[in-house]
Amino acid sequence: MSKSQRFFRALLRLFPAEFRGDFGDDMTATFNDQARDALAQGDRMAALRLWRDTIAGILTTAPREHLDVLRSDVRYALRNLRRNPGFTTVAVIALAVGIGANTAVFSIVNGVLLQSLPYKDPGALVIMFEKWPNTPVDKFEFSAPDFEIVRSLARSFSGMAAFRSTTFELSGTMEPQRIVGTRISPELIGVLGAAPAVGRGITADDDRTAARVAVLSHGLWTRAFGRDPGIVGRTIQLDGQGYTVVGVMPENFSFPPRGGGRNAEPADLYLPIAFTPFERGAFGMMYNNTVVARLAPGVTFAQARAEIGSMLPTLAERYPPILRQLAAAITIPMSGFADEVVGGSRRMILVLMGAVAMVLLIGCVDVANLMLTRAGSRQRELAVRSALGASAPRMVRQLLTEGFVLASLGAVAGGLLAYWTMELLLSLAGTSLPRVESIRFDGRVIAFTVALALVTPLVFGVVPAIRAAVQSTFEALKEGTRAATPGRGRHRLLASLVVAQFALALMLSVGAGLLVRSFIRLLASNPGFRSEHVVTATTTVPVGRYASGPQVKQFYLRATDATHAIPGVTANGASTDRPLNIQERRTFTPDASARELPELSRVIAATWTIGSYFEAMGIPLKRGRFFTDADGRGGQPVVIINELMANRLWPDQDPIGRQIKWGIAASQSPWMTIVGVVGDVKQSALGTETIAQTYEPLFQLPDAPRVANFYRTINLVVRSSREPASVLADLRATIQRLDPALPVTNAQALADVVGESVKPQRFSMTVVAAFALIALGLAAIGIYGVLANAVSQETHEIGVRMALGARPSTVVWSVLRRSLALMAVGVVIGGAGALAITRVMSGLLYEVRPTDAATFATSVLVLAGLAVAASLVPAWRATRVDPLIALRAE
Amino acid sequence: MIRRDAHDLLPLTPAMFHVLVALADGETHGYAIMKDVEELTGGGVRLSTGTLYGIIKRLLADGLIRESYGAQRGDDRRRAHALTAFGRDVARAEAARLEHTLSIARRKPLFRKA
């Protein structure tokens, strides 16, 4: 063969094998004729032209021929699937559930992890915190002086901005409503690469002069002002004070992004941060500004971090001498903005993705099982096709096409399933997922589903297809009329698929079991208070009508008195923070009697209370006394500490009568006398660490208006003998009666507050458990299918044994034994797999080790139950075999 | 056999029609068809091997042509193809269709022969 002939033959391989078989020789002969004539002309151009035309012709016709084959294969597959509705339904459902679950979870992965933040070049945005080593507080925001020092020194950034969120009462437009206002440095919008859609942003002038100006979010502009085009220049009322609207942000702008931590709720409007002279000098306190910065072009993250690290000594030097030792320990951790927003959710989302991947795998094994089982009954059909000249590769192609058709049907059904499940999933997640707003069905999610439809048939279809095709060519038509008994090889293959299902199902149920156990532990963990029969609600008194401290305090007195009059109330009080959400952190200095403690571990939580707060919350008194009405109104300042703090500072003495004060040793704050020790209460969600804490009477706080702003928001707590819902209604009515304009928020039973604090855990547990149940169901289908098939193949043998006097119980046991044996192998493999993969879950678990023996044992029991349940029907059917009929069938 | 209506297959692609025309004089093999088509169209239509056999496959499947081993020369074992009766009908019907289409166009001065 000449070189050009060989090349032409190679080109022919682009055609489907069938076409090549039919016309390959003719085409080669024709091409030879053409080539000979072209050569005879002695014209190099003619030869080149021939090649050009030939190659172009093959490249255009070959795909069309493939499409032809595909079309006929799809038609054939559809006809086949229609003829076996049982097989088709089960296979499509198994695939739809698997693909649907994967699509739904991938849309979360896509929205939260893959989608970049909606800002310009978000990869260059970083977020910074301050940190003291060995403190009970992980990391905290910036104080105003620290921010200004770092900003003036840093050279690695093209811009750096601070922001801080608070809530305001927006009034004058409609019903007064609470909105989130974020105070921002003038650079912020530019750092994010955004610009207002209407009007202007916050300028440096606004910031310097502390101008009362506001930039609205598109959402608030729409909601409260009906997209009034003349909004710029209008005055709005925030906490009773007039602010001029200077601009509106575009619709797609949302900041800060939702995601754990402080200052992480999308704002309704933006105001100048305008640090006051007091804030600028607030060294060592008021660490509450989040800092975001953009890396300068060409500067890497590592370079920027190194620069920040190198400026720490300078930062400490700028502190007042008395605080320098404290400041020298400060570090500034920095992370990518997106990483910070996603934070701890990444692990949870990846665990979910792993769970659904297993569901899909189990579904694929189901379909592979079904196809192999069916291959037995299909053998004759395939043998006929093979005898009629279909080659083995041709039949593999045909059978794979059938797989693709099944997977496509599954993908369509699964896509719809996912679309509907998303709503459910998102409502379950609530705000426990960051960036919920960016989770949706977009092109990438659809592409993912299509990819699944293309890949899954390779997982479940290749082995059955090759086996079926190869067998049919070897055994063409040689079998008798009886359905071919499966070969030993197929038996082994089916058995190993069942083992695989057991193993996968075990891994998934161990994972789910761990999350469930951890969640139960979490719910059973003691928050430090008794939430039954307690309700709570929050209100905020506006600056406008309650300008001074005494006015605010006066209102609080009236409110607690009025609340006490609600029928059935046994104790009531109030505090500055909501339970499980105590945000205030302070440093303190104890008197000389206390054990020497490094300054850095003197960061503690602090709360201010009114009335019988401890009794209402059910916080137990350990020593001394609770506050009385006399406390905090003149006389000696008093304080109650938690047990943890008492044990740490006065391990061998009675702390009652000892004193502490706020700030460092040199601070001018008054000494407060400890009058009581109470039980430890969680400052944040269940499952978090408890730290030292103080309680003071709120009335002990100064009356100055600047301080009064600190306690404008109060959280009422009511314990009663009545049903929470009706008490809540009364509580709401009581506040409204006192001042109808006051907003009442977070009105909840305390038990619901506790429940809400474990919402992320509840979400991952519920979802993984649901997927595990689905997986068990799918595995049961597969196991049942294989066993039922095996029993029906052995009808003859069982009949013989029964005829020879075997007892039904013996027959049942032989079937059961087989499935339990398969399960045992699956448990060993799956157990090893579970040990390997549950390790990644340790961060998600509370007081449960990933190797928890009880969880493993329970999962194995569940699987054993499943194995028995799935074998019972086939086993029972085996005992019903009539020996005569079985033998006659021969 | 069910009688099929030749008109069901119309219109043919120009390349298909040319192949039918090339076979009108009697059975012949691939390379001869290509040369014939090229000659008949004055070099205007040049079929490549791929295109030609794609067409032959379709014409065979539709029963317009059949394989023929009658006219083998020497050791040339390649198959020749010949029009079936149905193929002849279809070719004629297509020619009539083209003629009719053209006659409609000719009613306008723009399409009249000079």
The 10s digit of each residue's pLDDT in A591-606 is 988 888 776 667 788 9
Q: Contact at 8 Å (CB) between A352 and A512?
A: no
pLDDT value for A562? 94
pLDDT above 50 (res A515): yes
Closest-CA distance, B108 to chain A, in angstroms, reads 38
Mean pLDDT of the region A324-328: 83
Mean pLDDT of the region A132-158: 87
Please tell me which residue of chain A has the smallest CA distance to B32.
Answer: A30
Q: Contact at 8 Å (CB) between A342 and A87?
A: no
Q: What residues of B are in contact with residue A58 (Cβ under 8 Å)?
A: 48-50
CB contact under 8 A, A30 and B48: no
Mutation site for A-interface testing, chosen from B53, B62, B73 by largest number of A Cβ within 10 Å: B53
Q: Contact at 8 Å (CB) between A399 and A468?
A: yes
Mutation site for B-interface testing, chosen from A12, A23, A25, A59 by largest number of B Cβ within 10 Å: A23
Closest-CA distance, A37 to chain B, in angstroms, reads 11
Give the other-Cβ count within 10 Å of B113's Cβ: 4
CB-nearest to B78 from A26, A56, A58 is: A26
CB-nearest to B49 from A19, A22, A54 is: A54
CB contact under 8 A, A27 and B53: yes
The number of residues in chain A equals: 890
Q: Above 0.90 for ipTM, yes or no?
A: no
Please tell me which residue of chain A has the smallest CA distance to B76.
Answer: A29
pLDDT above 90 (res A321): no
Q: Contact at 8 Å (CB) between A504 and A775?
A: yes
Q: Contact at 8 Å (CB) between A685 and A703?
A: no
* Amino acid symbol at A298: G
pLDDT value for A887? 63
CB contact under 8 A, B52 and A30: yes
Q: Contact at 8 Å (CB) between A667 and A661?
A: yes
Q: Contact at 8 Å (CB) between A176 and A192?
A: no
Q: Which residues contact A753 (CB under 8 A, 6 or more apart)?
A: A531, A536, A578, A579, A580, A746
Mean pLDDT of the region A142-154: 93
pLDDT above 80 (res A661): yes
Burial profile A488-501: b = 16 or more Cβ within 10 angstroms, e = fewer: eebeebbbebbbbb
Residue A348 is inside which H or E element, if any? Answer: helix A345-387
- % residues pLDDT > 70 (chain A): 94
pLDDT above 80 (res A563): yes
CB contact under 8 A, B54 and A65: yes
pLDDT value for A483? 43
pLDDT value for A785? 81
pLDDT value for B78? 67
pLDDT above 80 (res A431): no
> What are the tokens at A538?
């929050």
Q: Which residue has the tokens 């001029």?
A: A244
Mutation site for A-interface testing, chosen from B33, B49, B55 by largest number of A Cβ within 10 Å: B49
Mean pLDDT of chain A: 86
pLDDT value for B77? 60
Closest-CA distance, B60 to chain A, in angstroms, reads 11
- % residues pLDDT > 90 (chain A): 39
Q: What angle do CA A713, A715, A719 make, to 5 degrees?
A: 165
Task: Please tell me if residue A31 touches chain B, with a CB cutoff of 8 Å.
Answer: yes
What gap in Å lies between CA A579 and CA A682, rounded to an integer?
Answer: 8
Among residues A609, A612, A585, which one has the least CA distance to residue A683?
A585
So what's the architecture of B11-111 in CATH?
Orthogonal Bundle (1.10)
Confidence band of A302 (pLDDT split at 50, 70, 90): very high
* SS3 call for A684: coil
Confidence band of B94 (pLDDT split at 50, 70, 90): very high
pLDDT above 80 (res B111): yes
Confidence band of B18 (pLDDT split at 50, 70, 90): very high
What gap in Å lies between CA A329 and CA A700, rounded to an integer?
Answer: 32
Residue A181 is inside which H or E element, if any? Answer: strand A177-184
CB contact under 8 A, B50 and A57: yes
Q: What residues of A are in contact with residue B52 (Cβ under 8 Å)?
A: 30, 57
CB-nearest to A34 from B29, B31, B50 is: B31
- Choice among A58-72, A354-368, A429-443 with the minimum mean pLDDT: A429-443
Helix H, strand E, coil C: the string for chain B is CCCCCHHHHCCCCHHHHHHHHHCCCCCEEHHHHHHHHHHHCCCCCCCCHHHHHHHHHHHHHCCCEEEECCCCCCCCCCCEEEECHHHHHHHHHHHHHHHHHHHHHHCCHHHCCC
CB contact under 8 A, B34 and A61: no
CB contact under 8 A, A29 and B46: no
Dihedrals phi, psi of B59, to nearest 5 degrees: -65, -40
How many A-B residue pairs are in contact by the CB < 8 A criterion?
A: 61
Confidence band of A482 (pLDDT split at 50, 70, 90): very low
Q: What residues of B are in contact with residue A57 (Cβ under 8 Å)?
A: 47-52
CB contact under 8 A, A33 and B31: yes
Mean pLDDT of the region B32-54: 89
N-terminal to C-terminal alpha carbon distance within chain A: 57
Confidence band of A764 (pLDDT split at 50, 70, 90): confident
CB contact under 8 A, B48 and A65: no
CB contact under 8 A, B79 and A65: no
- In DSSP notation, A75-107 reads HHHHHHHHH-HHHHHHHHHHHHHHHHHHHHHHH
pLDDT above 80 (res A200): yes
Phi-psi sector, A579: left (phi>0), alpha (psi -120 to 50), beta: beta
Mean pLDDT of the region A149-165: 94
Tally of CA atoms within 13 A in the half-sphere of A85 that contains its CB: 0
Task: Locate the domains of chain A by residue range.
Answer: 3-69, 140-332, 345-524+759-888, 542-741
Q: What residues of A are in contact with residue B51 (Cβ under 8 Å)?
A: 57, 60-61
For residue A358, how far is the Cα from the chain centroid? 18
What gap in Å lies between CA A532 and CA A521, rounded to an integer?
Answer: 18
pLDDT above 70 (res A376): no
pLDDT value for A727? 94
What gap in Å lies between CA A708 and CA A546, rounded to an integer?
Answer: 10
pLDDT above 80 (res A475): no
Mutation site for A-interface testing, chosen from B36, B38, B48, B51 by largest number of A Cβ within 10 Å: B48
Q: Contact at 8 Å (CB) between A392 and A400?
A: no
Q: Contact at 8 Å (CB) between A236 and A245?
A: yes
Phi-psi sector, A389: left (phi>0), alpha (psi -120 to 50), beta: left
Residue A572 is inside which H or E element, if any? Answer: strand A569-575
pLDDT above 70 (res A848): yes
Secondary structure letter of residue A404 according to DSSP? H
Task: Locate the domains of chain B by residue range.
Answer: 11-111
Closest-CA distance, A17 to chain B, in angstroms, reads 14
Mean pLDDT of the region A321-329: 84
Mean pLDDT of the region A772-784: 86
* Amino acid symbol at A294: R
pLDDT above 50 (res A146): yes
Which A residues, 54 through 113, put their C-beta within 8 Å of a C-beta on chain B? 54, 56-62, 64-65
